[in-house]
């Protein structure tokens, strides 16, 4: 919906989530707010609606930003992907080429990790709350086992970040979470 709005010159105000900075650059074609910061979101919307010059500047920049997602550009990316996959090269060489031209670039690693781990934290808390509700009727040893599972999961998470890096670990976690939530 952000792209569609930008096509019509409408700036966006949305929560800052990984990947969104490719569509919305704070203060240039819209505004990004922290998760659940309704007051900032409302303030930005009121500011845009009450300031015609700002609205026109953000809207014009939104139109320019969305141009990189037009059909021809996306078609060229697909052609590059298919051509690269069909080339007679090593897997590592192909991976390097594709990553260089097509991969997502994190603009702010600190913010990226804050958002990802914030989401993981809220999911973990909901999971633990649900398990705790269920285990109130069971023996206390199950609560102790749950704590061991959480501790072991946290240790695995730290080990994964150290060995695979933050981005790869985040990709793995997001895929696992997505599969579980489906």
Q: What pLDDT does residue 14 have?
A: 92
Mean pLDDT of 2-11: 90
Instruction: Give the single-character DSSP code of 22.
Output: G
Tell me, letter by letter, the H, E, C secondary structure of 107-169: CCHHHHHHHHHHHHHHHHHHHHHHHHHHHCCCCHHHHHHHHHHHHHHHHHHHHHHHHHCHHHH
Q: Is residue 80 within 8 Å of residue 102, measured between CB atoms?
A: yes
Q: What pLDDT does residue 140 have?
A: 47
Q: Of 96-100, 119-123, 126-130, where does the model show the most confidence?
A: 96-100
Q: Which residue has the higher pLDDT, 12 or 113?
A: 12
- Report the percent of the chain where pLDDT is more than 70: 81
Q: What pLDDT does residue 33 have?
A: 93
Q: Which residue has the higher pLDDT, 7 or 107?
A: 7
- Region of poorest pLDDT, from 7-21, 94-108, 144-158: 144-158
Asked whether the predicted pLDDT for residue 180 surpasses 60, the reply is yes
Q: Which residue has the higher pLDDT, 52 or 101?
A: 52
Q: What pLDDT does residue 90 have?
A: 86
Q: Which residue has the higher pLDDT, 32 or 115?
A: 32
Q: Report the predicted TM-score, pTM, of the whole model to 2 decimal places.
A: 0.52
């Amino acid at each position: 919906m952000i792209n569609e709005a930008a096509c019509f010159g409408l700036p966006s105000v949305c929560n800052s989530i990984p990947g969104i900075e490719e569509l919305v650059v704070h203060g240039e074609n819209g505004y990004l707010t922290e998760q659940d910061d309704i007051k900032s979101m409302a303030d930005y919307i009121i500011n845009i609606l009450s300031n015609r010059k700002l609205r026109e500047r953000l809207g014009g920049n939104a139109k320019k930003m969305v141009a990189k997602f037009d059909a021809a550009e996306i078609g060229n990316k697909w052609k590059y992907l298919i051509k690269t996959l069909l080339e007679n090269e090593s897997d590592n060489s192909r991976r390097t080429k594709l990553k260089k031209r097509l991969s997502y670039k994190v603009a702010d690693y600190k913010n990226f990790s804050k958002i990802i781990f914030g989401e993981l934290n809220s999911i973990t808390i909901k999971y633990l709350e649900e398990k705790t509700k269920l285990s109130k009727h069971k023996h206390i040893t199950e609560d102790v086992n749950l704590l061991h599972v959480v501790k072991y999961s946290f240790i695995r998470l730290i080990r994964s970040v150290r060995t695979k890096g933050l981005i790869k670990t985040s990709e793995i976690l997001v895929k696992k979470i997505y599969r579980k939530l489906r």
